[in-house]
Amino acid sequence: MALGNLLQTLPPLPTMLVGSYVQPDWLIDRHALSRRAPPRVPAPDLWCVPPAQFEAAADDATLLAIDEQERIGLDVIGDGEIRRESYSCTFVAALGGIDSQHSGTAVDRRGKSAPVPRVVGPITWTRSVLAHDVALLRSRTSRPIKITLPGPFTLSQLAEDHVYDSPGALAMAFAEAVNAEVRALHAAGADIVQLDEPYLEARRDAAHEYAMAAVTRALAGAAGATALHLCFGYGPIDRGHSKSGRYALLPELERTPVDIVSLEAAQPGVDAAVLRDLPSKLILWGCLDLGTTQVDTQEVVLQRIRAAINVAGAQQVMLGPDCGMKYLPRAVAEAKLRVLVSCARIARG
Amino acid sequence: MLQLPALATAMVGSYPQPEWLIDRASLGKRLPPRVRAAEIWRVPGPLLQGAQDDATRLAIRDQELAGLDIIGDGEMRRESYSNAFANSLGGIDHDNPGTALDRTGKPNSVPRVIGPIVRHTSTLVDEARFLRQCTARPTKITLPGPFTLAQQAQNDFYVNPRELALAYADAVNVEIRELHAAGIDIVQIDEPYLQARPEQAAEFGLEAVNRAVRGVAGMTALHICFGYAHVHNYAAKPNGYSFLPELEASTVDILSIEAAQPQLDLSILRRLPSRRIMLGVISLGDLNVESPDTVARRIDAALVHVPAERLLAAPDCGLKYVSGEIAMGKLRAMVDGVALVRGRRR
């Protein structure tokens, strides 16, 4: 079993990113990026590099992120989502059925209208856009590697649909495409493939209705370890919005085939007792508060780690930041991760 | 002092800068800049240093991945190997540059010396510290040597070229000491014009070089060559130097000598019995990546004249004008070629 093999190569309490890392200033206009909601459709105006040079520049920036994670000492290495304007837009823009000329509109989790993909034909998957980053990872590091992509429920919430009978049907259509990508990414050598589903907590009623069927479909027949990330939004850009800290869907997630559940926990102060709802899952526990540029102290991070271990057991817990680190200053992101790595070593005893 | 293995590998100086950092086509069409050429950078001013840091990190990592024993910073932050340092010195008229003939015979804008050469703070020490933080392997940093600096300047102050070269030597001497103090293992002065201007080199080249390294505690190197293959349009090169055995009397520890492209008659190395030789075993005149066997044969040919303990392996010259892919391929070939020779010697 792929998960078992993976766990054997990892130390207890392995450390990793959730998804995004800090993109270099010479690649993307970070100031402009931080002043808007995460782009749901590609936003080429954000990039600093002209299209002819973009792929090589994005490759170099990704290699830098990979090298930095290794230097910091993370056990599982991700691509840092360096070549993406947002966690979701790159994948969805490559799908068939999406209008590449005109975007639609939808209301995001903050209640604001934003451009979103416009579904004008049946959703189809033709080729992987993320396998390239898996190949970069595989060639650059010998550590286990993780790649992320948007989950089907979140995709269905951030689209303007002109084709399907219901949002549930749209979610299932996205699930087919996500499933094809998941398989391609494992085949390309990814050790963990993670679905990002932040809207499970933003749209709970809809999630109760049709999210789990979509998630299950998206993960069907996965040949390697799978993960699912949920959270209450990006710390630095959702600072003004209170985070409830209460997860509503964990018992339902327990019944899906996902191996690892990644949970934001530090910033909203989630009680580790919620892990009792996920007895069969590995937990990627959010130990770094990304809502502040203050570097988390060792004392506080150790408390967070031990709280998770006390409920779920040391064998079941993995350690990461709360969410993507895209919006943090570079030095802050590095410093926070270094605290995480040193606390993991202490907690291993 | 640094302990080096036999046949230690290193770059000479530059590594290819990425296209997102610098306009490579524009750089490749002109003579190496001797005055500042800020227009060739693609990244705007406030973000440039961060971008250069990132490019340097990648260059350092590439050298480590290729398996080099000695790591440089790849001169990622430079428009040319010489212009940043040259233009950081006092005594230069920055508003009215001069003109001098390049070794290709073409005129090039150069620093105009209107007063005493004075060393102000340069950026090299910060760059050296950055390199030290990025790698645990032995390090090497390059700067232009005094003879070449004097050839790439318009002298409107000193009585004669020798005085100018000696003034440059004093500035270079301070810089070398500071670079060693910053933790760099080998400081290399680049002196390609010792080969380009042999009459003047015979007059005061050795004196200028020795003055630049006098009293220096750490390890030093000197690079000499026939010029960038690309800049010279891949023209054939002579198989002998006009100025080289004279450097046996120098006090630099390592002589870095272009040899592969010109197919240098290696018997000249017998006239340098007390120097270490960093031999060019990778040609930049041929963009095909050498096989490790070819590299091994070049090393074997040198071993006839120089014992392995005094021999290091490097490309012929800087890799600035070569593509990233070719540069990495050639560095790997070099390391693999050295491994073949080391394997046979056991």
Pairing of strands B219-224, B254-257: parallel
Mean pLDDT confidence for A240-246: 65
Q: Distance (Å) from the C-alpha of residue B95 to the closest C-alpha of chain A?
A: 30
Nearest of A192, A95, A90, A180 to residue A134 by alpha carbon? A192
Element (H, E) at B164: helix B161-181
Q: How confident is the model at residue A1 (pLDDT cuts 50, 70, 90)?
A: low
pLDDT score recorded for residue B172? 98
State residue A239's pLDDT score. 54
Instruction: Dump pLDDT digits (tens) for B198-211.
Output: 999 999 999 999 99
Of A53, A63, A67, the CB nearest to B20: A53
> Are B19 and A57 inside 8 Å of each other by CB?
yes
Query: Do residues A119 and A98 lie in contact, with contact meaning Cβ atoms separated by under 8 Å?
Result: yes
Q: What is the pLDDT of residue A245?
A: 76
* Predicted confidence (pLDDT) per residue in B82-104, tens digit: 999 999 999 999 999 999 999 99
ipTM: 0.94
**CATH number belonging to the domain at A3-348, selected among 2.60.15.10, 3.20.20.210, 3.40.50.620, 1.10.238.10:** 3.20.20.210
- pLDDT score recorded for residue A266: 97
Of A26, A63, A67, the CB nearest to B20: A26
Nearest CA to CA, how far is B332 from chain A (Å)? 16
Q: Do A57 and B47 touch (CB under 8 A)?
A: no
Q: What residues does each domain of chain A span?
A: 3-348
Would the CB atoms of A57 and B20 count as touching at under 8 Å?
A: yes
Chain A contacts of B20, Cβ < 8 Å?
26-27, 49, 53, 56-57, 60
Say if A49 is an interface residue toward chain B (CB within 8 Å). Answer: yes
Residue B79's SS3 state is coil
DSSP reduced 3-state for A73: coil
How many C-beta neighbours within 10 Å does residue B249 have? Answer: 12
Give residue ranges of B with CB < 8 Å to any A CB.
Answer: 18-21, 42-43, 47, 50-51, 54-55, 57-58, 61
Asked whether the beta carbons of B312 and B279 are under 8 A apart, the reply is yes
Find the farthest-apart pair of alpha carbons in chain A and give their distance in angstroms, rounded.
56
Give residue-wise pLDDT tens across range B248-287. Answer: 999 999 999 999 999 999 999 999 999 999 999 999 999 9
Chain B residues touching residue A49 (CB < 8 angstroms): 20, 42
Task: Kindly determine whether residue A60 and residue B20, on different chains, have CB atoms separated by under 8 Å.
Answer: yes
Whether pTM exceeds 0.90: yes
Kindly determine whether residue A56 and residue B47, on different chains, have CB atoms separated by under 8 Å.
no
**Residue-wise pLDDT tens digits, A192-205:** 999 999 999 999 99
Task: Decide if B270 contacts B232 (C-beta within 8 A).
Answer: no
Task: For an interface test with B, give the residue of A26, A68, A330 to mutate (most B CBs within 10 A).
Answer: A26
Contact B340, B294 (CB under 8 A): no
Region A1-27 average pLDDT: 94
- CB nearest A60 (choices: B43, B50, B58): B58
Q: Please state the rounded mean pLDDT for residues B329-335.
A: 98
Question: What's the DSSP call for residue A38?
Answer: P
Shortest Cα distance, chain A CAs vs residue B46, angstroms: 10
Q: Which residue has the tokens 């943090």?
A: A328
Look at residue A332 and tell me whether its pLDDT is greater than 90: yes
A145's tokens: 């590697």
pLDDT of A241 > 60? The answer is: no
Distance CA B150, CA B143 (A): 14
- Please check the confidence at residue A240 and state whether its pLDDT lies above 50: no
pLDDT tens-digit map of A137-180: 999 999 999 999 999 999 999 999 999 999 999 999 999 999 99
Interface check A67 vs B, CB under 8 A: yes
Q: E strands of B151-260, at which residues?
A: 154-155, 186-190, 219-224, 254-257
Inter-chain contact B50–A56, Cβ cutoff 8 Å? no
What is the per-residue pLDDT across B25-67, written as a single tens digit (0 to 9) for each?
A: 999 999 999 999 999 999 999 999 999 999 999 999 999 999 9
